[in-house]
Amino acid sequence: MASSNAYKLHYFDARGRAEGIRLILVHAGQKFEDLRYSFEEWSKMKSEMPLGQVPVLELNGQKFPQSLAIARYIARQCKLAGRDDLEAMKCDIVVDTTQELINDYYRIWFHTDDEKVKEAEQTTFKTKTLPTKMAGLEKLMNTYGNGVWAVGDNVTWADFIIYDIVETLLEVDDQLLSKYHTVKKNREAGHVFTLLLYCLTLDLVHLIQTSETNKLQDHQVHVDPILIQVSWTTHDYDLHTIPTLQVVANPLLARQFSPIYKQIFASLKQLNAEYARYAVWFPYPKLAVAELDPPSGLFQCGNVGEDFSINLSCEQSGGVISKVDFASYGTSSGACGEMQQGKCHAANSSEIVQRVCIGQKTCSVPATSDLFGDPCKRTAKRLLIQIQCNPPQNNTYYNFTYLDTMLEDFLDATDGHSRIISFSTQPNWLFKQDTPHIYPDNASLADWGYPVGTVLVDDTMQALGDYYGRLFAWYTRGGFIDEYGRKHTSNYEYNWDYTEIFNEVESEHHMNVEFYTRAYDAVIQGIRRHTNNYDMKYVGMALGGHNEFDWYRYFLNHSNHAPDIPLDMISYHFYASASSRINPKDYEEFFSQLDTFTFEVEQIEEIRKILSPETRTTIDELGVILPDDNTPGAPQFPMIYWNAAAALYAYAWARISRQGIDVVGHSQLVGYPELPDLQLQPQYPSVALLNWTTGEGTAKYWTSKLLIETADIDNDQAVVTQTTDVSGENIFSQGFIGKNGRRWVLIINKRYANVDVFLPGSTGGRMQIINEASGFGPATEVTLTLSRITLSPFAVAVVHMPPDDMK
């Protein structure tokens, strides 16, 4: 194709026979010199034109006349002349038909001098020629096109010529299109062409930067004008994708630690989200695992660090503590039944424990140097105790203290809505280990190394299934029978829709797909064994590495599973990042990363549709993790980050909805930096939807709420939406229409700069916008008095179109 500097178009300062050529050039993004002459100027230029007429296309110094030859040449260069020779001929037929009509118009209106003759011929044109030719054009478009475009299923140069001709003919009969529905749809779809040209001329749409919100940006951005045109009658795809969020269990959600847990769950309730995912995650073992220590038979053991206490009990058997098998305050180690004294040991350990505990139904022994003395100064010490009861009792270590309260609050906040529950963390003792993993005594202290081991102790995986079966019986069947036949009663009889099995299994215990598939089956079998619930639906995989296509090929193959194992839904995750934690300009990188991800989603969908088309999909973790996010003392990101991350989620939801994905979950409700007052270590602050000090919503939260409240899933339809931002690097927009005629447009600013857009027909409509100015508050609502809209950096806007714009 010729370089953008090579094209010069010569014509009068009017639409005329050059307008169609201009529209083709503009649509193709081809820059050109639009040379427009007054009649006085034309008299001087006429002799320089090959046939003494215009339009003329000048290309590398050579001039070419004839409007249709010019238009056809540019269409071929710009790939707008049809997909093959047959479509090219159809384009020519349609264009030739329009030319017969417009030539009659020009002859009568501009080349007939006798007024009586002109009046008679104009009447004949309006009553006979125009209806006949328009009916013929309508028939051709219905035969060659798709009901909107004239030829094939996409725009061609014929559509530009039709648009231009009809613009002229509407001056003759302003009700013309009421009789020709296909031509009308074509014109509605083609509004973008003329408005685009109008905006180019008047510079209505432009990209600028502002000093108020852009002090860190060191360059001015200039792009071509941005125009949004929605073809309200042209269906694109059905809206099926549910916007929702992920809630990860961490101390700021726990009643026992959090000063704002009530505000957090109140904010969750206000979202009214469907398919909210509750993930009980490994970094806080006491908040995530119901049975942190393995069953120990007749021995009862405890192992705590300094300033914590071991609580022992023989109440289960109705007996008392009769024997202290082992007691050591110092550096002893070992599992229950295998405890060994370390080099550092308080010699009085057994004596003290016996004195406190023997003959007691229960006893509590603190691990302090005040009680035992200090056997090794400046050395971290632990207290290990092993006892037996009389009469004997078998011992388990179930503890639901923290799991119960957080799950109660989550289920209460999401009552009446569909939920996905993920007890993603398995007890470490189910896996073979060289030495037992010591988890933190402080339930609010993170243990990033908790998932230990890659090989199960019980290779049949029955013990794994039994753990999950008992866990689910606790919450859905009022209690469970433990490993020794003892009944544990909860009185919970909750119901939820989906259970997700594990989380990011490639990294947590480093599972391969064969191992995980067996584990998935075993967990379902265990849940059914202990609950007799065959109605529960399940989510599989929860992959962190979403592009591991072999996983999908194996897991979604039903022959790799045990009989009667459902593949109800799969899940995987995506997180964008940035080169810098604090430079807002770098946040623009989020969007290109999401573009790559959507391509991977397409590939995953191809695999799913072939192997298990009935399986649904949730992308249940989608968000941003900034560099050094879990590093104590990392610099705090600027407020505009919330808007950038919110814009990414809105963009992701809209892009992914085109693939028909069922659920897209915004990650995550609560994260936080280091909080010294609460003695909390960082927990991915950049993923948070809520302010970690107040529980108020960030821009991420309010964007999720805006999408949840606006999108009418399975009723709204996406319609064809075009912009002059051909590369898509500045904005994203998508129009939707509901069954009741409700129309709305999602517009996202992907740049750290102000963007002005022009949305035809939006005047009088209502806009909800989330931007830096809305802060920790909901979307700002305004009534649009102009169709020109300014979007501040990373703004997300929903424009509710006025009801009378369907013309």
Predicted confidence (pLDDT) per residue in 245-286, tens digit: 999 999 999 999 999 999 999 999 999 999 999 999 999 999
C-alpha to C-alpha distance for 679 and 687, rounded to whole angstroms: 20
Domain-ending residue, one of 710, 732, 750: 710
Q: Cβ neighbours of residue 105 under 8 Å, at least 6 residues apart?
A: 125, 168, 169, 172
Indicate whether 626 and 500 sit together in one domain. Answer: yes
pLDDT, residue 260, reads 97
pLDDT, residue 208, reads 32
Q: For residue 755, give its domain range.
A: 207-237+714-800
Residue 2 lies in a domain: no
Tens digit of each residue's pLDDT (9 = 90 or more) over 357-386: 999 999 999 999 999 999 999 999 999 999
Indicate whether 151 and 221 sit together in one domain. Answer: no
Three-state SS sequence of 244-262 = EEEEECCHHHCCCCCCCHH
Q: Which two tokens stand for residue 609?
A: 């549709």
Residue 148 lies in a domain: yes
Indicate whether 706 and 718 sit together in one domain. Answer: no
Amino acid (1-letter code) at residue 665: G
Q: Give the mean pLDDT of 422-439.
A: 94
Indicate whether 498 and 533 sit together in one domain. Answer: yes
C-alpha to C-alpha distance for 422 and 280, rounded to whole angstroms: 6
Do residues 451 and 281 make contact, with C-beta atoms less than 8 angstroms apart?
A: no
Nearest to 350 by CA among 379, 384, 378: 384
Indicate whether 595 and 489 sit together in one domain. Answer: yes
Residue 1 lies in a domain: no
Q: What is the CATH number of the domain that holds 642?
A: 3.20.20.80
How many CB atoms neighbour CB 463 within 10 A?
19
Indicate whether 429 and 381 sit together in one domain. Answer: no
Rounded to the nearest integer, the mean pLDDT of the chain is: 91
Residue 137 lies in a domain: yes
Indicate whether 13 and 134 sit together in one domain. Answer: yes
pLDDT at 29 over 80: no
CA angle (468 as vertex; 465, 471 as ends), nearest 5: 150
Amino acid (1-letter code) at residue 160: F
Supply φ then ψ for residue 605, to 5 degrees.
-65, -35
Place of tokens 């004239």: 150
Domain count, the chain: 4
Residue 767 lies in a domain: yes
Q: What is the CATH number of the domain that holds 352?
A: 2.60.120.740
pLDDT at 432 over 60: yes
Residue 807 lies in a domain: no
Residue 293 lies in a domain: no
Indicate whether 476 and 588 sit together in one domain. Answer: yes
Indicate whether 684 and 790 sit together in one domain. Answer: no
Region class of 140: left (phi > 0), else alpha (psi between -120 and 50), else beta: alpha
Q: Helix, strand or coil for residue 277?
A: strand
Q: Helix, strand or coil for residue 542?
A: strand
pLDDT, residue 216, reads 33
pLDDT at 142 over 60: yes
Indicate whether 67 and 89 sit together in one domain. Answer: yes
C-alpha to C-alpha distance for 693 and 674, rounded to whole angstroms: 12
DSSP 79: T
Q: What is the CATH number of the domain that holds 720?
A: 2.60.40.1180
Q: Give the mean pLDDT of 454-470.
A: 97
Whole-angstrom CA distances from 427 to 18, 282, 346, 463, 757 are: 75, 9, 31, 11, 54
E-assigned strand segments in 557-645: 569-576, 616-624
C-alpha to C-alpha distance for 421 and 290, rounded to whole angstroms: 15
Q: What is the CATH number of the domain that holds 127?
A: 1.20.1050.130
Indicate whether 428 and 527 sit together in one domain. Answer: yes
Q: Cβ neighbours of residue 778 under 8 Å, at least 6 residues apart?
A: 697, 702, 705, 770
Indicate whether 517 and 458 sit together in one domain. Answer: yes
Bond into 668 cis (ω within 30): yes
SS3 content of the chain, % helix, strand, coil (to 5): 35, 25, 40
Domain-ending residue, one of 710, 741, 764: 710
Stated pTM of the model: 0.77
| pLDDT class of 196 with cuts at 50, 70, 90 | low
Tens digit of each residue's pLDDT (9 = 90 or more) over 165-189: 998 888 888 888 888 989 988 887 7
| pLDDT class of 154 with cuts at 50, 70, 90 | confident
Tens digit of each residue's pLDDT (9 = 90 or more) over 475-516: 999 999 999 999 999 999 999 999 999 999 998 889 999 999
Domain-ending residue, one of 148, 178, 201: 201
